[in-house]
Amino acid sequence: MTVDPQAGRVPEERSGGGVSRPSAITVRIVGTGLIGASIGLALSRRGFRVLLSDPSPTARALTADLGGGVVDDDTPCDVVFVAAPPDVAAAVVAEQLKRWPSAVVADVASVKQRIVDEVAASVDADHLRRYVGTHPMAGRERSGAVAARADLFEGRTWVVCPQDGTDPDSVALVQDLAHATGAAVVTMPADEHDAAVAVVSHLPQLAASAVASQLRELPDEAIVLSGGGIRDVTRIAESDPMLWTQILAGNASSVAPVLQRVVAQLNSVARSLQQLATDESAAPGSRGEVARLISDGQVGHARIPGKHGAAPATYATVIVPIPDEPGAFARLFNDVGDAGINLEDLRMEHGVGAPVGLVELSVLPAVVDRLRDVLEDKGWNVHA
């Protein structure tokens, strides 16, 4: 039995929020880049039948070789995941909706409202009911099928964006498949998704790129002073310009006003700093302007959820200097393990020119004393 989303009821294979007989469902992946190939790998591993299409013979063959499915452009399917670049995603979705008139078609682009609008403009309402926009929030520094991983989505958020009139069974099937990859499924309308990622994803990318771009002309002696702060702030500045231009252009109407607010905010601080540089006493409100930005940042930062989507957690942090030599990590984490203590998070920091690293271990406050005692017993220099 195959899933017939047109029938408007939950097929036997799917009940209790999961898919009970994956092998009965045929999934087509159109576009075997990093995301498409990773979906193929994840769903193949879970027992789904996966068919692969891609304009590049190399990409689709590689995905098949990795175990992501079989190359096949012609067999009918129950669900299609369109994993094409953002600027062509809508056209490919429309094409697939017409090609497989009983299949659910989902895309995985990072922007959603524009794609819904474009799909709606090129297919009729009956086709549109089978379209489900989604956004798996996973990625890597590397791209292409060669970087694909069956566990790319494990522990990541996968947003599903039904519109008015989207068939509920189509939505449920896509949610189940996203869940089957190990992702945490979050459901919200496309416009809310776009407004959210404009702030939590697209704005940070622009800020990171702008800060990093200022390093281009800096003397080597100045670059050497780079510490943990700028490394953190600019890590995502490594991202691919072509992909990000498509993402930002695709969400321009949500990103533009957010970026304009930040420009106004920073411009006001720049003016205050200019006044302070010229004549400190002549600018009574200037310090207040600077303080307000830093203070507002503290308030906003405190809202970011902690691990696993819980409320922002206040973990206790223990800092342990470790020698820069093989086995040092192993000894440290072995000793943490002996204490039976769960690490909530960890960070590693390096300075310039020193043969020592600092490892920051975050644990629940209740166990920090025991962790310190255990590590000190084992000879570590612990700072809690």
Burial class (CB in 10 A: 0-12, 13-18, 19+), 178: buried
**Least CB distance to its own copies at residue 370 (A):** 12
Judged by CB, which is closer to its own copies: 7, or 256?
256
**Least CB distance to its own copies at residue 53 (A):** 24
Among 7, 12, 211, 365, binds its own copies (CB under 8 A): 211
According to CB under 8 A, which residues from 244 to 263 bind its own copies?
244-245, 248-249, 252-253, 255-256, 258-263
**Binding to its own copies by residue 298, rule CB under 8 A?**
yes
Interhelix angle 113-122/86-99, nearest 10 degrees: 40
**Binding to its own copies by residue 330, rule CB under 8 A?**
yes
**Binding to its own copies by residue 296, rule CB under 8 A?**
yes
According to CB under 8 A, which residues from 127 to 156 bind its own copies?
137, 141, 149, 151, 154-156
Q: Kindly tell me the sign of the dihedral angle through the C-alpha atoms of 103, 127, 162, 63.
A: positive
Among 208, 318, 368, 375, binds its own copies (CB under 8 A): 208
**Binding to its own copies by residue 309, rule CB under 8 A?**
yes
Place of tokens 């769903």: 43
Among 54, 107, 176, 335, binds its own copies (CB under 8 A): 335
Contact residues for 126 (Cβ-Cβ < 8 A; gap 6+): none
**Least CB distance to its own copies at residue 376 (A):** 14
**Least CB distance to its own copies at residue 17 (A):** 14
Rounded to 5 degrees, what are φ and ψ at 376? -65, -40
Judged by CB, which is closer to its own copies: 102, or 201?
201
Q: Which stretch binds its own copies (CB under 8 A): 10-18, 99-107, 117-125, 188-196?
A: 188-196
| Three-class secondary structure of residue 185 per DSSP | strand
Strand (E) or helix (H) holding 160: strand 157-161
Judged by CB, which is closer to its own copies: 75, or 213?
213
Judged by CB, which is closer to its own copies: 12, or 65?
65
Judged by CB, which is closer to its own copies: 164, or 221?
221
**Binding to its own copies by residue 70, rule CB under 8 A?**
no
Place of tokens 């995301």: 35
Among 17, 76, 210, 285, binds its own copies (CB under 8 A): 210
According to CB under 8 A, which residues from 152 to 181 bind its own copies?
154-157, 159
**Binding to its own copies by residue 238, rule CB under 8 A?**
yes
The H-assigned helical ranges of 15-112 are: 34-45, 57-65, 86-99
Distance CA 69, CA 63 (A): 7
Per-position x/- string for 350-379, each x denoting binding to its own copies as judged by CB under 8 A, each - no binding: xxxxxxxxx---------------------
Judged by CB, which is closer to its own copies: 72, or 333?
333
Among 10, 88, 91, 184, binds its own copies (CB under 8 A): 184
- The string of DSSP letters for 280-340 reads GGG-TTHHHHHHHHHHHHHHHHTTS--GGG-SPP--EEEEEEEESSTTHHHHHHHHHHHTT
According to CB under 8 A, which residues from 30 to 69 bind its own copies?
none
Distance CA 263, CA 200 (A): 16
Distance CA 103, CA 168 (A): 14
Contact residues for 114 (Cβ-Cβ < 8 A; gap 6+): 90, 194, 250, 251
